[in-house]
Amino acid sequence: MKKLMKDPFNLVIAGVGGQGNVVLSQLIGTALVNAGYLVTIGETYGASQRGGPVMSHMRVSKEMVYSPLIAEGTADVILGMEPSETLRMLGRFGNPEVKTIVNPQPIYSVDVAGGEAEYPEMDKLMDAIKGLSAKTWVVSATEEADKMGSPIVANTILVGALVGSGVLPLDRKAMEPILQERFPKALEVNLKAFDKGMALVAK
């Protein structure tokens, strides 16, 4: 397994309430700890209701334990579970070297659903994300999970994409026991989803 590309390595996971942001960060963090890394995770929440912004800061090191919050402009990778939140986090934590993985499935706020606000045009939103990133992987996790008949595994597809992108010192072997522990009754579909995520970034 390869080494950490930077120490400390700063990962931001951006989404909205109800997407499973915290579970996703726990899966990745546990795998890294099992691989011998020191990991700190900080969760920040916007509006407390379902649909408000949620962000996980993850700092990974082989040498020491770092404070959990990532300084603005210092993210190495942003994993975006929702495109508008991904762009917002890029504006705060991005830099010329940041890499981005984004699920292009929008989640509309109450204001947008009620016609009081307008969601950004998707093409322009994705262009902006790509323009602010050194490299961007667009991973249609929600769409692929729907095709599999199990929408809930979208997050596992994103985990597979993160691992498959090569930005972390993890591989399928490292993730399999984590998925088995977390999803003992749905291991097969989650392994399939993980493999799908790896395949999507390998194209």
How many C-beta atoms surround the C-beta of residue 52 within 10 A? 14
**Which letter does DSSP use for residue 115 in this model?**
T
The predicted pLDDT at position 43 comes to: 78
The predicted pLDDT at position 48 comes to: 44
The predicted pLDDT at position 2 comes to: 74
How many C-beta atoms surround the C-beta of residue 45 within 10 A? 12
Q: Where are the domains of the chain?
A: 9-202
Q: Give the residue from 10, 11, 15, 168 showing the smallest Cα distance to 86.
A: 15
For residue 125, what are its two tokens?
């939103």
The predicted pLDDT at position 111 comes to: 59
β-strands 9-16, 53-61: how paired? antiparallel
Instruction: Give the Cα-Cα-Cα angle 44, 32, 96 (nearest 5 degrees).
Output: 60
- Evaluate the omega torsion of the peptide bond into residue 104 and state whether it is cis, within 30 degrees of 0: no
Q: Give the residue from 107, 110, 77 showing the smallest Cα distance to 94.
A: 77
User: b vs e for 137-163, b when ≥16 Cβ sit within 10 Å of the residue's Cβ?
Assistant: bbbbbbebbeebeeeebbbbbbbbbbb
Rounded mean pLDDT for each run of 10 residues along the chain, 203 residues in total: 87 82 91 96 64 84 93 97 94 97 86 73 96 98 96 96 97 97 96 98 87
Q: Give the residue from 58, 56, 42 showing the smallest Cα distance to 10.
A: 58
The predicted pLDDT at position 109 comes to: 64
| 9-202: CATH number | 3.40.920.10
